[in-house]
Structure 1
């Protein structure tokens, strides 16, 4: 009986450890948008984005940027883009396909 109890404790510990989310630490880069075309790209990305329903649980953003008085967090990949207004961390917005392409082109020019 004692061996069975120890076995359940070990299995329980393994299951709990495997079910926890993997924490990925990222460094956030701040984008200093100065050129008109840069501001236009990110303004369009914000304007054309669509609100995503549900509860938000995001990792640290890859980038942050500001347009006027508003600040945003940005997550971007080849196929997806997400932004979040830093004043409302409970809502995320999905970038349009054209904005994903434009933002990725912005990063690939460096």
Structure 2
């Protein structure tokens, strides 16, 4: 019984901690300009490897607020990839919207400060 309790404690405390750290190990963010949902503009890749920039982008995406309802969006401006994640991005200096490529029926809104930071990077 003691072994079972120890295993349970391991699962409850270690697994969430370990998975939460994975976003901190991302070393690169790739940003592509898009022509449409299915077409990337030629030679448009920009890669960010500065740890502070990568961290800011990843945190902004992870903290984005889920919007209710199913959406229909215009073609995205950018595609952003980091780790195993890929997102479409619509951005201005005051507003940002992202959509995970794994769930194209849901959008997330970036905070105003995150939108400004990312806008200054990609423009």
Q: CA RMSD, aligned part only?
A: 1.8
1:74 aligns with 2:89: yes
- Cα distance 1:61–1:30, how it changes in 2: closer, same or farther (>3 A)? farther
Q: Which has the larger radius of gyration?
A: 1
Structure 1 residue 47: deviation in Å? 1.6
Structure 1 residue 31: deviation in Å? 4.3
TM-score (norm 2): 0.60
Gaps of 5+ in 2: 1-33
Structure 2 residue aligned with 1:59: 74
Separation (CA, whole Å) in 2 of partners of 1:70 and 1:35: 18
Q: How many residues align?
A: 83
- Cα distance 1:43–1:84, how it changes in 2: closer, same or farther (>3 A)? same
Structure 2 residue aligned with 1:100: 115
SS at match of 2:48: coil
Structure 2 residue aligned with 1:4: none
The ranges of structure 1 where at least 4 consecutive aligned residues each deviate by more than 6 angstroms after the TM superposition are none
Structure 2 residue aligned with 1:33: 48
- Cα distance 1:44–1:87, how it changes in 2: closer, same or farther (>3 A)? same
Gaps of 5+ in 1: 1-25
Structure with the greater relative contact order (CA < 8 A, sep ≥ 6): 1 or 2?
Answer: 1
